[in-house]
Amino acid sequence: MVELLPSILSADFAHLADQVAAAERGGGTVIHVDVMDGHFVPNITLGPPVVKSLRKATKLPLDCHLMIENPDEYIPAFAEAGANWVSVHYEVCRHLHRSLQLIDRHGMKPGVVLNPATRVDLIVDILPMVHHVLVMSVNPGFGGQEFIPFALNKIRRLAELRQEMGLAFRIEVDGGVAHDTVAQVVQAGAELLVAGNAVFGKGSPERNARELLKAARKAAGEKESVIRKLAAGPGRRRRSNEVV
Ligand code: DX5
Ligand code: ZN
């Protein structure tokens, strides 16, 4: 099932609770929280204290995307603050298996994130451990960037691997998800759709979220109907002179 994960990176931080509530009314089901340290990415955002405040403001799961160099040191603090899902970047984890275990042992859902230049095949061995794989479709650090199209191949590859390996991890996409890209990412196989600028950039977050989700569900419906047709097979062959 496709779900919309509003990313608060583009929200008005002075009115965070109201903005999150509006995105939830528009159909957002998980709140995406971007944590940046100014080292792994060239930007600084927020940490456990803001997660703790958000925890009081919404009942929705909080999906913390850690764009920080030494995530293991902070995982306990995010658990304490009330994070539900935590994802770490492949590129910073020397001991990715250990980091994922640590997240799991703190009672949170572990995820792994791939930068645009990182190949999917590098994480095959740890796929059975993750709740979600987050495919970056921009270079992490900022909201409102342009979608990188080859991220679609990575989403397709992950969907194939999931099928081949008989796993159930969820495929999340982050960066440049908006009205002009959402259908492609859903058709490729992503189901957790992070959107910052498209929800909080301008206008009403509630309406923006609702419209984006509607477009995503339409694309998901179209994909389902193609799969059903393929599964049903070619059917009766038409006679060459048959009028249709
Ligand atoms: C970028 C962040 C994203 C960001 C996406 O580093 O990880 O979550 O909010 O923003 P948009 O949807 O504006 O591309
Ligand atoms: Zn993110």
pTM as predicted:
0.94
Quick one: pLDDT at residue 83?
Answer: 98
Q: Which residues does residue 145 pair with via DSSP β-bridges, in sequence order?
A: none
Task: Express as a percent the part of the chain with pLDDT over 90.
Answer: 91
- 52 compared with 230, residue with greater pLDDT: 52
Whether residue 235 is predicted with pLDDT greater than 90 in this model: the reply is no
Lowest mean pLDDT among 8-17, 146-155, 202-211, 215-224: 215-224
Mean pLDDT over the full length of the chain: 95
d(CA 39, CA 204): 33
Q: Pick from 105, 61, 103: which is nearest to 86 by CA?
A: 103
**What sign does the CA torsion over 166, 190, 195, 140 have?**
positive
The DSSP call for residue 50 is H
pLDDT band at 244 (very low <50, low <70, confident <90, very high): very low
Ligand 1: residues within 6 Å at CB?
A: 7, 9-10, 32, 34, 65, 138, 140-141, 143-145, 174-177, 194-198
Query: Which of the ligands is closest to the CA of residue 175?
Result: 1
Ligand 1 centroid–CA 80 distance in Å is 25
d(CA 180, CA 147): 10
pLDDT band at 214 (very low <50, low <70, confident <90, very high): very high
Summarised one tens digit per residue, pLDDT across range 135-177 is 999 999 999 999 999 999 999 999 999 999 999 999 999 999 9
Catalytic residue (one of 12, 18, 34, 37): 34
The ligand 1 atom nearest the CA atom of 8: 9
| Atom 10 of ligand 1, residue of closest alpha carbon | 143
d(CA 46, CA 38): 11
Whether residue 208 is predicted with pLDDT greater than 80 in this model: the reply is yes
Calculate the dihedral angle through the C-alpha atoms of 35, 137, 16, 132, rounding to the nearest 10 degrees.
-70
Which strand ranges, in their side-by-side order, compose the sheet holding 109-114? 3-6, 192-195, 170-174, 132-136, 109-114, 85-89, 62-67, 31-36
What is the rounded average pLDDT of the residues 198-217?
A: 98
Quick one: pLDDT at residue 228?
Answer: 84
| Atom 4 of ligand 1, residue of closest alpha carbon | 143
Output phi, psi for 110, to 5 deg: -80, 140
d(CA 79, CA 13): 22
